[in-house]
């Protein structure tokens, strides 16, 4: 007998195909390695020379596996010398009958012959029946394992445990008697808290601003292009996990408290959903950037429309300008140098700075209000409990009506209403639980706010577009009008600075620095001429 042929008269060259359904088996080295060892032992016993090994680490429910495709290509290239294809077990070839039959046809067309140490593959009717039965059993096993895994995961989710990959801001930790539980993952947890609370409070007006904020954080995971996708931002904003709650509609797991600490409150999450579903969404402006932070906020003094901005090419360089482009505006096309507008705006910001004496008095007043609020919160607990009882009764009434109706539209309306009431009930329970117990101290709560009120210019001069957008929203009630000849018109400042002005007018007064005429202030002591204005020192009467 020819040395190049086996006992059956076939070419003695063979290839091995190994597959695992989980990449972790590849990392551990126990799946693919053991299959290959067994196949090589079988090849040696049958006198085959193994010329190539092909591997896959994905489910057998797919026929377009890279390793499988590479093997078929190899077999076609050596069609003239029929090669054996050794597999450890029929379940390693495919995990359902249809896939198995399709691959068998492809293998036959490519010139390969399937063999295994676990069973014989022959072409007689009995052998084909056994082969088909084994493939059917493999399919059943796959489906049964998937079903059992899903049931176990669903049962764990119903107990409040997240069962998928840890979301950004969390990581898994083993807890005694609980298995793997989500825990805060710093600094990502704090970044996510700032992003979510910022959107809920209006600090970030749009999802695009949340996106820019996240992209500006060096630690935050991004795409290879350094981006955070819009879909990902929306997923963050609509994920109740960040509020310490869990919901899986596709598994009929309704919203429930989760077994991990939330990064925000449920009330904050509810506010986010209301913003997402309301009419507060504004199209993202792609032209707001570091070059022109006042674009869209400063209005033309003639027509009242927002000024646009651009770089103008000169003989030696490019120069930045703000200008109005409205068709019927008298100032159309008349550009204003960027440094002129922004220097006057910065002077306006500096004028909002209160004196140390006034700031200390305001801070003491805010602390008194904080203490009074903490006392009244305890009394509000009783009224919230009564409100909770009313919600419970409404849910019971709706449930009774739901059982009695047969109309699909009415059922959907009742289910939606019950869902909203259950959300309100959870929010109330959270409020009652935290009633009289501030989540943070006065210092932690007002540290950044008071720092901003003491000198908004400090935040503006940091230079990042997110900081500057924050200043515009917090310091001014509305957009600012700018005239080419006279500068900024009297601004409408925000409530916190008006409050400081009220304190000033009550028991303190503003004493303006000498040399500034006329004597005016941003706290209501007259209109502001620009660019010459300033807040003077405060003194007690």
Concatenated DSSP letters for 310-328? EEEE-SSSEEEEEEB--TT
H or E element that contains 539: strand 537-540
- Tell me how crowded residue 106 is: count the other CB atoms within 10 A of its CB: 17
Domains of the chain and CATH, by start: 13-149 (3.40.50.1390), 170-277 (3.90.1750.20), 298-353+455-540 (no CATH), 357-447 (no CATH)
C-beta of residue 352 within 8 angstroms of C-beta of residue 456: yes
Of 70, 69, 86, nearest in space to 35 by CA: 86
> Can you tell me whether residue 538 is helix, strand or coil?
strand
Phi-psi region of 29 (alpha: psi -120 to 50; beta: other; left: phi over 0): left
Give the model's pLDDT for residue 20.
Answer: 84
For the chain, residues with pLDDT lower than 70 are 1-11, 22-30, 59-63, 95, 279-290, 355, 358-359, 362, 365-366, 369-382, 434-455, 463-464, 466, 495-541
Positive or negative: CA dihedral 164, 170, 174, 175: negative
Of 195, 152, 275, nearest in space to 161 by CA: 152
Give the model's pLDDT for residue 134.
Answer: 80
Give the model's pLDDT for residue 24.
Answer: 57
C-beta of residue 203 within 8 angstroms of C-beta of residue 195: no
Before 63, cis peptide (omega within 30)?
A: no
Whose tokens are 């057998």? That residue is: 60
Structure tokens at 392: 């419970």
Give the model's pLDDT for residue 501.
Answer: 61
Alpha-carbon distance of 28 to 246, in angstroms, equals 32
Alpha-carbon distance of 230 to 4, in angstroms, equals 61
Structure tokens at 238: 């609509």
Whose tokens are 């990042």? That residue is: 464
Give the model's pLDDT for residue 431.
Answer: 74
Structure tokens at 58: 């994905």
End-to-end CA distance of the chain: give it in Å, rounded. 119
Alpha-carbon distance of 140 to 143, in angstroms, equals 5
Of 438, 466, 425, nearest in space to 371 by CA: 438
294 burial level (CB within 10 Å; 0-12, 13-18, 19+): buried
For the packed helices 442-454 and 356-404, what is the interaxial angle rounded to 10 degrees?
130
Rounded CA Rg of the chain: 35
Structure tokens at 261: 């600490």
147 burial level (CB within 10 Å; 0-12, 13-18, 19+): exposed
Alpha-carbon distance of 75 to 442, in angstroms, equals 74
Alpha-carbon distance of 31 to 291, in angstroms, equals 56
- Tell me how crowded residue 540 is: count the other CB atoms within 10 A of its CB: 8
pTM (predicted TM-score): 0.54
Starting at the earlier edge strand, list the strands of the sheet with 112-115. 49-57, 13-20, 83-87, 112-115
Give the model's pLDDT for residue 284.
Answer: 44
C-beta of residue 111 within 8 angstroms of C-beta of residue 82: yes
Buried b (16+ CB within 10 A) or exposed e, 362-399: beeebeeeeeeeeeebeeeeeebeebbeebeeebeebe
Give the model's pLDDT for residue 289.
Answer: 61
- Residue count (the chain): 541
């Amino acid at each position: 007998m020819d040395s190049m042929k086996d006992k059956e008269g076939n070419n003695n060259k063979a290839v091995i195909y190994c597959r695992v359904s989980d990449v972790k088996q590849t990392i551990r080295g126990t799946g693919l390695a053991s299959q290959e060892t067994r196949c090589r032992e079988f090849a040696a016993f049958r006198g085959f020379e193994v010329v190539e090994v092909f591997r896959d680490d994905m489910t057998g429910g797919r026929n377009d596996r890279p390793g499988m495709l590479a093997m078929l290509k190899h077999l076609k290239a050596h069609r003239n010398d029929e090669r054996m294809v050794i597999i450890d077990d029929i379940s390693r070839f495919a995990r359902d009958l249809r896939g198995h039959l399709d691959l068998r046809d492809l293998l036959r067309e490519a010139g390969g012959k399937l063999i295994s140490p676990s069973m014989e593959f022959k072409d007689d009717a009995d052998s084909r029946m056994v082969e088909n039965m084994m493939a059917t059993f493999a399919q059943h096993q796959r489906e049964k394992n998937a079903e059992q895994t899903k049931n176990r995961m669903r049962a764990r989710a119903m107990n409040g445990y997240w069962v998928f990959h840890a979301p950004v801001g969390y990581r898994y930790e083993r807890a005694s008697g609980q298995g793997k539980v989500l825990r805060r993952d710093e600094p990502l947890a704090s970044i996510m808290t700032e992003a979510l609370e910022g959107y809920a409070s209006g600090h970030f007006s749009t999802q695009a601003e949340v996106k820019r904020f996240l992209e500006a954080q060096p630690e935050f995971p991004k795409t290879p292009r350094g981006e955070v996708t819009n879909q990902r931002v929306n997923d963050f904003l609509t994920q109740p996990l960040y509020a310490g709650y869990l919901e899986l509609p596709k598994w009929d797991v309704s919203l429930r408290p989760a077994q991990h600490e939330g990064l925000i409150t449920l009330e904050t999450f509810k506010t986010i959903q209301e913003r997402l579903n309301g009419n507060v969404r504004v199209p993202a402006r792609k032209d707001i950037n570091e070059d022109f932070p006042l674009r869209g906020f400063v209005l033309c003094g003639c027509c009242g429309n927002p000024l646009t901005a651009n770089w103008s090419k000169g003989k030696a360089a490019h120069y930045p300008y703000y200008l109005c482009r409205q068709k019927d505006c008298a100032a159309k096309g008349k550009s204003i140098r960027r440094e002129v507008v922004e220097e006057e705006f910065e002077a306006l910001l500096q004028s909002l700075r209160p004196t140390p004496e006034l700031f200390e008095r305001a801070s003491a007043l805010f602390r008194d209000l904080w203490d009074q609020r903490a006392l009244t919160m305890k009394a509000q607990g009783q009224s919230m409990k009564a409100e909770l009882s009313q919600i419970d009764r409404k849910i019971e009434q709706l449930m009774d009506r739901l059982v009695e109706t047969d109309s699909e539209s009415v059922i959907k309306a009742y289910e939606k209403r019950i869902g909203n009431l259950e959300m309100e009930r959870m929010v109330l329970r959270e409020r009652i639980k935290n009633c009289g117990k501030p989540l943070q101290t006065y210092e932690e709560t007002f540290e950044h706010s008071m720092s901003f009120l003491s000198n908004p210019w400090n935040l503006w001069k940091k230079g990042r577009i997110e900081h500057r957008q924050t200043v515009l929203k917090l310091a001014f009630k509305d957009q600012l009008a700018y005239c080419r000849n006279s500068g900024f018109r009297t601004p409408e400042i925000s409530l916190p600075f008006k409050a400081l002005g009220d304190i000033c007018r009550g028991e303190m007064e503003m004493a303006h620095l000498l040399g500034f005429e006329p004597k005016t202030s941003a706290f209501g002591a007259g209109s502001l001429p620009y660019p010459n204005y300033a807040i003077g020192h405060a003194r007690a009467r």
